């Protein structure tokens, strides 16, 4: 059974020394660290590596909760996955541990996870309400859902044709107008 630490800083020039010192003091056998990786990114190489390595009875230790999850929902998904797989979790600065035998675990930790869960559900519900309200307002104003259709009148289509007439290749046109090669070919296929 291993105790694995996870540290993360968002910017390349940020320092992880404080996190590393506290994770080492907590007795972590190995520390995985994502350096210069935003917490909003879905894929974080070292976090993914640690999650793949975890087994029943292992413990994940972080300096603070926000180092682990992208948002409340992601954090909760991770904690649920840990519980399902029999993996313990501890956040040093937040005073949360899911191991009931830990000095900071037990009923209070479970209550904190429940509160986090409630806020995650609230966050999902509010997002859903705002989306539905926005769609209803757009429909009432006569706007349709989805991406707007690009026609031959579009500025980028016009520019693509101009550049083609000058003898530029589609790959170069794409770089200039900020579009993929496939999009450039689609634009050039439109009659002006």
Q: Bigger pLDDT: 50 or 96?
A: 50
Q: What are phi and psi of 60, to 5 degrees?
A: -100, 130
Residue 69 has pLDDT above 80, yes or no: no
92 close to 22: Cβ distance less than 8 angstroms:
yes
Please give the DSSP secondary-structure letter assigned to residue 74.
H
Report the Cα–Cα distance between both ends of the chain, in Å, rounded. 68
User: What pLDDT does residue 6 have?
Assistant: 95
Share of the chain above pLDDT 70, in %: 90
Answer whether 98's CB lies under 8 Å from 79's CB.
yes
pLDDT per residue over 14-53, tens digit each? 788 999 999 999 999 999 999 887 766 667 899 999 999 9
Rounded to the nearest integer, the mean pLDDT of the chain is: 85
Q: Check: CB of residue 88 under 8 Å from CB of residue 98.
A: yes
pLDDT band at 147; cut points 50, 70, 90: confident
pLDDT-based confidence at 59, cuts 50/70/90? Answer: very high
Asked if the model's pLDDT at residue 106 lies above 70, the reply is no
pLDDT above 60 for 113: yes
**Confidence (pTM):** 0.58
pLDDT, one tens digit per residue, over 148-171 is 788 888 899 999 999 999 999 999
Name which of 98, 75, 73 is nearest 87 in CA terms: 98
Q: What are the residue numbers of the active site? A: 10
The DSSP-derived string for 28-42 is -SEEEEEES--TT-S
Residue 9 confidence (pLDDT) above 80: yes
Assign residue 185 a region (left: φ > 0; alpha: ψ between -120 and 50; beta: otherwise). alpha
Most confident of 27-31, 44-48, 65-69, 126-130: 27-31
pLDDT band at 120 (very low <50, low <70, confident <90, very high): low
């Amino acid at each position: 059974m291993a105790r694995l630490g996870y540290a993360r800083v968002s910017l390349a020039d940020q320092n992880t020394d404080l996190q590393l010192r506290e994770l080492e003091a907590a007795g972590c056998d190995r520390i995985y660290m994502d350096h210069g990786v935003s917490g909003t990114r879905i894929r974080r190489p070292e976090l993914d590596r640690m999650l793949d390595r975890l087994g029943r009875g292992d413990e994940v230790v972080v300096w603070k909760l926000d180092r682990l999850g992208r948002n409340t929902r992601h954090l909760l998904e991770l904690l649920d996955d840990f519980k399902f797989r029999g993996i313990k979790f501890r956040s040093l600065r937040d005073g949360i541990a899911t191991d009931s035998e830990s000095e900071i675990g037990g009923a209070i930790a479970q209550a904190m996870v429940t509160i986090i869960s409630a806020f995650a559900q609230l966050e999902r519900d509010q997002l859903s309400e705002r989306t539905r309200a926005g769609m209803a307002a757009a429909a009432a104003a006569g706007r349709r859902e989805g991406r707007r259709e690009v026609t031959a009148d579009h500025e980028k289509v016009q520019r693509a044709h101009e550049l083609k007439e000058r003898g530029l290749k589609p790959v170069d046109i794409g770089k200039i107008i900020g579009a993929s090669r496939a999009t450039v070919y689609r634009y050039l296929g439109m009659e002006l």
